[in-house]
Structure formats: structure tokens, C-alpha cells
Amino acid sequence: MIVCKSISKVYGSGDNQTVALDNVSFVIKEGEFVAIMGPSGSGKSTLMHILGALDNPTSGSYYLDGHDVSILSEDELSVIRKEKIGFVFQAFNLLPRATVLRNVMLPLIYGEVPKDQRKKIAEEALRAVQLTEDRWDHYSNEISGGQMQRVAIARALVNDPSLILADEPTGNLDTKTGDFVLDTFRRLNREKGHTIVLITHEDEVAAFADRTIVIRDGHLVEDRQNRKEEVKKVIQ
């Protein structure tokens, strides 16, 4: 599904040049759950922007579902983001004066999905993240942080994206709530087959994924399979 070939990203020029990514290559297959991990300033956020079709590499190629994203125009990138990528962010990015159900329906409204189909699709997504129906008519600022993040995940699901890209999704949550959100990603991966890429700086969070790619100082320094017993221990 994802093929990165010798991806580099350079900001500035001359003496002010900063190399954020340097010759990074990897493949993520359809249906994988992968964590991209690194400390602040490692280049993982730059890589996330490239994977999310929010930025282009300076050199190298990025393929998503066989499309060379690195050569697309801004309009074409916008279509890729709308049709193939579901985003989940640390800050939730929900509308506070809209209900849970309407927040989840928004991408369908923007995508001009017929009105009679929007509610059904949004309800199915909320059930998939196990948010109980008694919360659907609440405003998003009336529910807990963990529930808000599950709403954000449901919103990312409604357009049936090829890729769910989660950027530090537990950063604003306590450990117990964060573990529940991460277990939600695991269940969507296991039961629904969604390909998930999780951006994090924490080993404990990365351990929920089946595989961890480690970025440091712009270089890919490790690409490992997580031990099954370790993953099982974390989600218990």
C-alpha cells in the first residue's frame, strides 16, 4: 500500500539548509498496523506530512495504492487526502458546538454524500469505535477526552480510507484512556482490516502496533517486528 523510496526532505538552502529526512525507504503492506517512532526533531512529523499528502519530499518517491503521490499537483493531493486517508490528531479537531453525530457526518457533507446515507454511515462508524448511542446527540465539548478521540476516529472512518494516519492520538489522554483508544485502533485493524500508521515518541504506545519504524535525526535507524507477547501484555 505504501512505498517510500529514498525519501529526503530539505528545508532552506545554502548555510541555512536543514535536512529533515535523509534517504528514507520502507514499505507498508495493506492491513498492517505500523508505528513510526522517534523523539522530537527526529523527522517523524515531516514524514507524517508526506505520508498524509500534506507535503512533498525534496527527492525520492512516495507511492500510495500505486499512485506516485510525490509528483501530484495540489488539487490532486487534495483528492488523495479526501478519498484515501483518514486523519486522527492529538487535538481531536472536533467542532465544539456540533453534536457527536454531526461531527462524524461532516466529511460526508463535504463529500456531497446523499443526505439519506450520511446518518447511516456515521452511525456505523460510531458503533465501530464502541461509542454508546446515548452520547451521539451530545455536543463534542460535553464528552470526555477519550470519547472525543473515538469520535475523531469514527470521523476518519466514514470515507472508507485506504490508510488511517494517527498523529500522537493519545498525547492529550491519561494512560488508561489512551490504552483504550489504542486498543480501538488494534480492533479496527484486526476486525475491519484497516491499515493504520501511528506516529508516536513513546515506546509504550508503539508497542500496540505489530511493527515499529524508528526515525532519528532524519534517518531510518530501525525497522522491527514487535514481539507478540509484548503486544498482548500491553493491551490486557
**Chain segment 189-226, per-residue pLDDT in tens:** 998 899 999 999 999 999 999 999 999 999 999 999 99
* Phi and psi based region of residue 37 (left: phi greater than 0; alpha: psi -120 to 50; beta: remaining): beta
Q: In this structure, which amino acid lies at residue 218?
A: G
The DSSP 8-state label assigned to residue 109 in this structure reads H
Query: 141-196 pLDDT, tens per residue?
Result: 999 999 999 999 999 999 999 999 999 999 989 999 999 999 999 999 998 899 99
- pLDDT value for 230: 52
- What residues contact 124, with CB distance under 8 A and at least 6 apart? none
The pLDDT score that the predictor gives to residue 235 is 46
Give one word for 7, left, alpha or beta, with left for phi > 0 and alpha for psi -120 to 50. beta
What is the spatial distance between Cα 98 and Cα 114, in angstroms, rounded to a whole number? 20
HSE on the CB side for 48, CA within 13 Å?
27
Phi-psi region of 53 (alpha: psi -120 to 50; beta: other; left: phi over 0): left
Convert the pLDDT of each residue in 86-143 to its tens digit.
999 988 999 999 999 999 999 999 888 998 899 999 999 999 999 999 999 999 999 9
pLDDT above 90 covers a percentage of the chain that reads 81
DSSP state of 102: H
Say whether domain 2-235 belongs to CATH 3.10.129.10: no
> Would you say the pTM of this structure is higher than 0.85?
yes
pLDDT over threshold 60, residue 231: no
Radius of gyration of the chain (CA): 18
pLDDT for residue 236 = 44
Which pLDDT score, from 0 to 100, does residue 228 have? Answer: 62
pLDDT of residue 116: 85
Residue 232 has pLDDT above 80, yes or no: no
pLDDT value for 178? 94
Residue 72 pLDDT > 50, yes or no? Answer: yes
Q: Coil, strand, or helix at residue 37? A: strand
Strand pairing category for 163-167 and 85-89: parallel
CB 104 within 8 A of CB 119: no
Question: H/E element holding 88?
Answer: strand 85-89
| pLDDT at residue 227 tops 90 | no
* Better pLDDT: 230 or 81: 81
Element of type H or E holding 2: strand 2-11
pLDDT of amino acid 110: 85
CA 181 – CA 184 distance, rounded (Å): 5
Domain extent listing, the chain: 2-235
Q: Are 167 and 11 in contact (CB under 8 A)?
A: no
Q: Are 102 and 108 spatial neighbours (Cβ–Cβ below 8 Å)?
A: no
- Judge whether residue 57 has pLDDT over 50: yes
